């Protein structure tokens, strides 16, 4: 069933576990996620990035996501990932997304608060929940020096002001993760997660969660992370399975035979993540 993001994440917040938010770009990825969620009885979030919307188009993503959610035996939210444009966010809401992200992280605090409030006013009026971001979750440049890196992290005092002023449903925090493939091992600032959680007391979101060691993910969840974004680990599973299949079957030209193993490989990765996040059996 299609539900709002906050319906899923409030339960996770109150019961101290996290729900996976997996990036979707095509039918096979959607099916892999939904099958994994149903087989583990786990709530789940399907999310579309800027790249995903550009690739598939909002109509296709919305139709696929809504069909999958309506057919699913578990709660599913359809979420816009890293929305930055008010018009696009409204378009997604109009197409039936049940959750949207307004990523104002490139702005200063006041401007981020202002654009987040603008989105929330409309989204909440039509029952759609909202994620915002405070601090900067970057790419994987590891040549950035520690002081500069920490300067981009979420400030707990600012987080409190931000949440009080915006009434945002869940907040993405910058605590040491980065999008894409890590060059070294990511170091998370666990004390910062704990402090932010104590100060804001709402579901927290971890971006750039692919490639983060399992023990770090577990600790982050125990300290208050409730939504965990995964894209790169699915891309790796997808591409590796296709390369392996074609290496073994160089003459095969059937898209179903080529994509079948990729879907299965993604599903296995997703099920393991669901176990790690603690969402298994929570549907």
3-state secondary structure of 169: coil
**Residue number of the CB atom closest to ligand G3H:** 51
User: Phi and psi dihedrals of 44, rounded to 5?
Assistant: -155, 155
Spatial CB neighbours of 223, under 8 Å, sequence gap ≥ 6: 190, 193, 194, 197
Q: Is 227 in the site for Zn ion (CB under 5 A)?
A: no
User: Residues, the chain, total?
Assistant: 283
Contacted entry of ligand G3H, ligand 13P, Zn ion, none for residue 11, CB cut-off 5 to 8 Å set by kind? none
Which one, 66 or 179, has the nearer CB to ligand G3H?
A: 179
User: Phi and psi dihedrals of 66, rounded to 5?
Assistant: -70, -40
Which one, 35 or 81, has the nearer CB to ligand G3H?
A: 81
Q: Is 99 in the site for ligand 13P (CB under 6 A)?
A: no
Task: Tell me whether residue 214 is exposed, middle or buried, using C-beta atoms within 10 angstroms of its C-beta: 0 to 12, 13 to 18, 19 or more.
Answer: exposed
Planar angle of CA 185, 187, 188, nearest 5 degrees: 140
What is the contact surface with ligand G3H in residues (CB under 6 A)? 23, 49-52, 81-82, 179, 231
Among 81, 169, 189, 233, the active-site one is: 81
81 is catalytic: yes
Q: Is 103 in the site for ligand 13P (CB under 6 A)?
A: no
Considering the complex, what minimum distance in angstroms separates the CB of residue 23 from Zn ion? 9
**Which residue ranges make up the site for ligand 13P (CB under 6 A)?**
23, 81-82, 179-180, 207-210, 229-232
């Amino acid at each position: 069933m299609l539900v709002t993001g906050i319906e899923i994440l409030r339960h996770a917040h109150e019961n101290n576990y996290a729900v996976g938010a997996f990036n979707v770009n095509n039918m096979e990825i959607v099916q892999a996620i939904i099958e994994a969620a149903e087989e583990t009885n786990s709530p789940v979030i399907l999310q579309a990035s800027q790249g995903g919307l550009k690739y598939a188009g909002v109509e296709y993503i919305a139709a696929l996501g809504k069909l999958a959610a309506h057919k699913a035996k578990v709660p599913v939210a359809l979420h816009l990932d890293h929305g930055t444009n008010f018009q696009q966010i409204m378009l997604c809401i109009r197409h039936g997304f049940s959750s949207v992200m307004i990523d104002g992280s490139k702005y200063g605090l006041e401007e981020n608060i202002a654009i987040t409030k603008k989105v929330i006013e409309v989204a909440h009026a039509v029952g759609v929940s909202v994620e915002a971001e405070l601090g900067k979750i970057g790419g994987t440049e590891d040549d950035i020096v520690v002081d500069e890196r920490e300067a981009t992290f979420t400030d707990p005092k600012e987080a409190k002001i931000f949440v009080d002023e915006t009434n945002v449903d869940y907040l993405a925090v910058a605590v040491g993760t980065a999008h894409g493939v890590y060059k070294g091992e990511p170091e998370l600032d666990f004390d910062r997660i704990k402090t932010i959680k104590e100060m804001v007391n709402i579901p927290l979101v971890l971006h750039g969660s692919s490639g983060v060691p399992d023990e770090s993910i577990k600790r982050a969840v125990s300290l208050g992370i409730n939504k965990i974004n995964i894209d790169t680990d699915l891309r790796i599973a997808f591409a590796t399975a296709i390369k392996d299949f074609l290496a073994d079957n160089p003459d095969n030209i059937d898209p179903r035979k080529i994509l079948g193993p990729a879907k299965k490989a993604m599903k296995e990765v997703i099920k393991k993540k669901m176990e790690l996040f603690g969402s298994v059996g929570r549907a």
